[in-house]
Amino acid sequence: MLNKKSVTDLAVAGKKVLVRCDFNVPMKDGAITNDARIEGALPTIQYLIENGAQVILMSHLGRPKGEAKPEFTLAPVAVRLGEFLKKDVLFADDAEVVGENAKTMVAGMKDGDVLLLQNTRYRKEETKNGEEFAKELASLADLYVNDAFGTAHRAHASNVGVSSLLPSALGFLVKKEIDVMGKTMEAPERPFVAILGGAKVSDKIGVIENLLDKVDTLIIGGGMAYTFFVAKGWSVGNSLLEVEKVELAKSLLEKAEAKGVKLLLPVDNVIATGFSNEAEFKTVASNEIPDGWEGLDIGAASIKLFEAEIANAKTVVWNGPMGVFEMSNFARGTFAVAEALTKTDALTIIGGGDSAAAVIQSGYADKMSHISTGGGASLELFEGKVLPGIDAINEK
Ligand code: AMP
């Protein structure tokens, strides 16, 4: 188990503390459409304010690709954050992030002040973990806290780079993600059921392989299931298929059997005449998909089968939708899985991304044990990988 320093292990009073947050919020026409990520960062920020630190925040927003593009400014985040904290949040609007203006503003900070730097991805060096940029960021502060789980699987200047230049610790949000998901992967209460969905097998090969060593049951739904159907010798019509992964799917099915892992695929599917909510659709058994049709959701019998498995579980992790849940005619399987998770007394972990969006959309978010703030990062944890942003933090 990781034994990384937490923000509570640092002596922060009177110190300048640089905090990497995940303020990569969804925006429309310059307005924030969902502020969950800002809210998620509050416990660490509030702790630092209450303990007399000078709090310097940084984050990326979108993909400005190394240029100071105004549509990716963090200015609206500073305003919203100020409303949450009920205090002014200073905003250093420097195109080069650590410019003369930012340096002067930071130098003038008092204990309890909060300042937000401009979008770290205004600098090309950010995503390349450029040493110069990391040094500039580190030069602003005495201590560093990483509280951005969403980028923890990336080695960037604002997470990995600065970690080696300042005494470092994890913030409360990252700590919780690691505690819940890390402990679950190490010592799950059984039966341990993993549910994987989404479009591509190729994105989840490492996850499937790692989970086969850990879970009692692996449920595979969504577009990725059809490559497994072909591995079993069934036709899939126009359904999503990764031909070059069929052999691998075969070997994963064999591996599951050899390890005594129950691998469940959909037994029926909602198929349609095209990739559209207006297309004609019907439900057929998994080995009866006709030519010209494509599978866009799991069917009612599959839902029942998966529900029974979930009801029996003590731990469930879920990543990836069961169908094209963005279209109402093909959303039932995904929402049924979300609902099934509200009815079990198991520890339920939603691995970010589309499954988290589906759970939030269905109104069941409060009923889950843990919804991860990082889709890619949680997948890499399920894959058994070490996340560079966390690995770089000082040990206790
Ligand atoms: P991923 O990013 O791999 O988790 O994939 C998520 C996407 O997979 C969502 O946008 C879904 O609409 C899509 N998806 C799920 N099931 C299917 C399916 N049967 N056919 C096509 N796309 C699907």
From the list 37, 80, 204, 332, the catalytic residue is 37
pLDDT for 278-325, tens place per residue? 999 999 999 999 999 999 999 999 999 999 999 999 999 999 999 999
- Region of poorest pLDDT, from 46-50, 159-163, 205-209: 205-209
Query: If you average pLDDT over residues 114-142, what whole number do you get?
Result: 98
Which residue, by CA, sits nearest to atom 2 of ligand 1? 198
Higher pLDDT: 280 or 1? It is 280
151 CA → ligand 1 middle, Å: 22
**pLDDT score for 368:** 96
Q: How confident is the model at residue 1 (pLDDT cuts 50, 70, 90)?
A: low
Ligand 1: nearest atom to the Cα of 197: 4
**pLDDT score for 84:** 98
Residue 82 annotated in active site: no
Higher pLDDT: 127 or 30? It is 127
| Mean pLDDT over each residue of the chain, to the nearest integer | 96
Please state the pTM of the whole predicted model. 0.90
The answer as to CATH 1.10.3720.10 being correct for domain 7-173 is no
Pocket around ligand 1 at a 6 A CB cut-off: 198-200, 203, 222-223, 240, 295-296, 320-321, 323-324, 326, 353-354
Two domains, one topology: 7-173 and 180-382 = yes
CATH code, 180-382: 3.40.50.1260
319 CA → ligand 1 middle, Å: 11
**pLDDT score for 353:** 82
pLDDT for 217-227, tens place per residue? 999 999 999 99
| Domain residue extents for the chain | 7-173, 180-382
**pLDDT score for 200:** 87
266 CA → ligand 1 middle, Å: 15
Q: How confident is the model at residue 352 (pLDDT cuts 50, 70, 90)?
A: confident
Per-residue 3-state assignment (H helix, E strand, C coil) for the chain: CCCECEHHHCCCCCCEEEEECCCCCCEECCEECCCHHHHHHHHHHHHHHHCCCEEEEECCCCCCCCCCCHHHCCHHHHHHHHHHHCCCCEEECCCCCCCHHHHHHHHCCCCCCEEEECCHHHCCCHHHCCHHHHHHHHCCCCEEEECCCCCCCCCCHHHHHHHCCCCEEECHHHHHHHHHHHHHHHCCCCCEEEEECCCCCHHHHHHHHHHHCCCCEEEECCCCHHHHHHHCCCCCCCCCCCHHHHHHHHHHHHHHHHHCCEEECCCEEEEECCCCCCCCEEEEECCCCCCCCEEEEECHHHHHHHHHHHHCCCEEEEECCCCCCCCHHHCHHHHHHHHHHHCCCCEEEECCHHHHHHHHHHCCHHHCCEECCCHHHHHHHHCCCCCHHHHCCCEC
pLDDT for 160-198, tens place per residue? 999 999 999 999 999 999 999 988 999 999 999 999 999
Residue 262 annotated in active site: no
